[in-house]
Every structure is written in C-alpha cells, then in structure tokens.
Amino acid sequence: MLEQTRTKVRGLTVWLGETVNDWFGDRPFEDGGEVTHGRLGLRLLWRQDEGWDTNVRLRARFDLPNLRDKAYIFLGRQNERELVTDQPETFTREQQLLEERRKEDQSGFIGLGYALRRNIDLRAGVRGGYKVYAQARLRKQWALSVQDRIEFRETVFWTVKDHFGSTTSFNYEHAFTPALALHWQNAATITKETDGFAWSSSLGLFRQFGDQRVLSGEIVATGETGMRDKLSEYGVRVKWQQPVYRDWLIGELIAGHFWPKGDEEPEREQRWAVGANLEMRF
C-alpha cells in the first residue's frame, strides 16, 4: 500500500510537471525535466493545556526544460507565514511543537523561481488562493576548517500586507567526530508586524547512527526585541529520526519541555509537548 501511494503521488506530480512545462514551449518534460525535493508529511502534536493538533504538509520542486534550466516551479501546502518569511526548518512551528494558531494558517501555494547564480535565486508566488508574495534569497557556506562550518542565509520578501521584510539566519557547526556534531542555529525576522525583530536560537548536539538515524538534544529560545519581555519562550527538546520503510518514509518523534510567557502574563508557565511526524519523500 505504501509503494502504491508513493507511486501515485509521484505520478501525479510528474503529470503536473509535464502539463506546466508544455505551457512554456515544445521541449518535452523527459528532456531534462524532473521532480525534486518532493515531501508529503503528516504531523500529530500534543501540547499540555492545548490538546491535540494535526496537519498535512506538501512541497515539491519542478525543474522544467522549457524554462531553460535555471528556472523552476515550486508548490505545496504549509504554514503561510513560514513560507513567506522563509523560516529555517529548525524554527518552524512543527519543530517547536506549537499548534497552528488558526487552520487558515495552513495554505496551498505555487510559484516560479529563477536561479540567478549558484547561491542566489528569485521567487514569486501565490499562496492562499490569491495572495501574492516575492522573495530574493542568498545562501552562502564557508568551511573554516575540517571540523568547523558556517552558513549564512538572507531572504528579503515582499507582500501586499507586510510590504518589505527580511529573514536572516546564521548557523555554526562543529564536528567532534564524523558522527557527533554541535549545532548553533539562529534566525531573525523583521516585518511591519514585529516589534523590533522576532528571533529564534537553538544550541544542541546531533548524533548520527547511520542510515538516516539521528538523535539530537537542543536548548531552544524565541522572542521579540521590542516586547516588554524579550524572551517569549525557552525550553529543551529531544528528537529521534529514522526510516520507517526503506529510505523514503521517514519517521520523527520529538519531545520537549517549555517555559512560555505572554507579554501580559505575570509569570512563566510550564508545558510538556510531544510530536510525531511521518514524511514520505518522492
């Protein structure tokens, strides 16, 4: 059943790629076209005092021959705010074990991207049926040594509601051994709606056991610089990831203990949270 489901999902996306490719010229999709970064995910979340929450995410990229190699189509379904601001995966609501504020926050999207250079691309798309957004993205990596690596990402985005905004992320990785590494990850987003900038940071150890099996433990924190209490939440989370079926059905279990505090709340609360994610790669 899993094989059939994956084959049907893959077949549907290839058909869609062929259809869209034909809009732009006569080169057939088989002439260099492909579907990449295909992901279909299901999340189940429980957070203390908030109960259960579920959602489905989808994303895929289509490299189309008629767009002359550098351009591509992307589509999917995910948190609308995270899509527009280009939040790193580490700081998505899914990974922070936060429920969606509203079901409307999850929306479908489709867009066109163009690789201006190897590490710069421009993207424009529509999400939620009719809301337009645009992005310019820069990604750069440096190897400081055999054991140390840093990554810088900058995304400038525009929407009708927010006008211009940006998300900056900086990540540092130190490898103690080929299987054990320290990750320090940071992101800051500025929009018309944020007080100052919204920031997130995590520090943790990641241990690989081969065959996509990874165990991690992290200290995480989020906040906004313009708020009265600049640290809105901090906590710890532990995550285990491994293949469930072959190498394309990946299971993930996350557990965390957090201390959130609203701007109008006198004291911090304590919250336990558990999340289970199942992702099909196609």
pLDDT digits (tens, 9 = 90+) for 52-72: 989 899 999 999 898 877 789
Question: CA 106 to CA 95: how far, in whole Å?
Answer: 15
pLDDT of residue 194: 79
Q: Are 72 and 124 in contact (CB under 8 A)?
A: no
Instruction: Identify any residues that bridge with 117 across adjacent strands, giving them in sequence order.
Output: 120
Specify the CATH number for the domain of residue 194: 2.40.160.40
Measured over the CA atoms of residue 37, residue 42, residue 47 and residue 49, the dihedral's sign is: positive
Sequence-ordered strand ranges (E) for the chain: 34-47, 51-63, 71-79, 106-117, 120-127, 131-143, 148-159, 163-175, 180-190, 198-208, 214-224, 231-245, 249-260, 271-281
Band of residue 76 on the pLDDT scale cut at 50, 70, 90: very high
Question: CA 42 to CA 2: how far, in whole Å?
Answer: 14
Q: Are 62 and 76 in contact (CB under 8 A)?
A: no
Does a structural domain hold residue 184?
A: yes
Does a structural domain hold residue 6?
A: no
Task: Average the pLDDT over 130-136 and give the result.
Answer: 94
Q: Are 165 and 191 in contact (CB under 8 A)?
A: yes
Band of residue 92 on the pLDDT scale cut at 50, 70, 90: very high
* Phi and psi angles of residue 37, each rounded to the nearest 5 degrees, phi first: 55, 30
Does a structural domain hold residue 48?
A: yes
Task: Look at the chain and count its residues.
Answer: 282
Is 90 exceeded by the pLDDT of residue 90?
yes
Pairing of strands 148-159, 131-143: antiparallel
Band of residue 207 on the pLDDT scale cut at 50, 70, 90: very high
Alpha-carbon distances, residue 96 vs 27, 91, 221 (angstroms): 43, 6, 10
Does a structural domain hold residue 31?
A: no
Rg value, the chain, Cα:
20
Does a structural domain hold residue 207?
A: yes
Question: CA 87 to CA 74: how far, in whole Å?
Answer: 16
Percent pLDDT > 90 in the chain is: 68
Is 60 exceeded by the pLDDT of residue 103?
no
* Phi and psi angles of residue 102, each rounded to the nearest 5 degrees, phi first: -140, 150
Does a structural domain hold residue 74?
A: no
Does a structural domain hold residue 190?
A: yes
- As for how many domains the chain has, the answer is 1
* Phi and psi angles of residue 99, each rounded to the nearest 5 degrees, phi first: -75, 160
Measured over the CA atoms of residue 92, residue 94, residue 95 and residue 97, the dihedral's sign is: positive
Does a structural domain hold residue 187?
A: yes
Task: Average the pLDDT over 196-218 and give the result.
Answer: 95
Question: CA 199 to CA 85: how far, in whole Å?
Answer: 12
For 262, the domain range is 42-55+86-103+114-281
Is 80 exceeded by the pLDDT of residue 93?
yes
CB neighbourhood size of 64 (10 A): 24
Question: CA 279 to CA 142: how far, in whole Å?
Answer: 30
Q: Are 122 and 70 in contact (CB under 8 A)?
A: no
Is 90 exceeded by the pLDDT of residue 33?
no
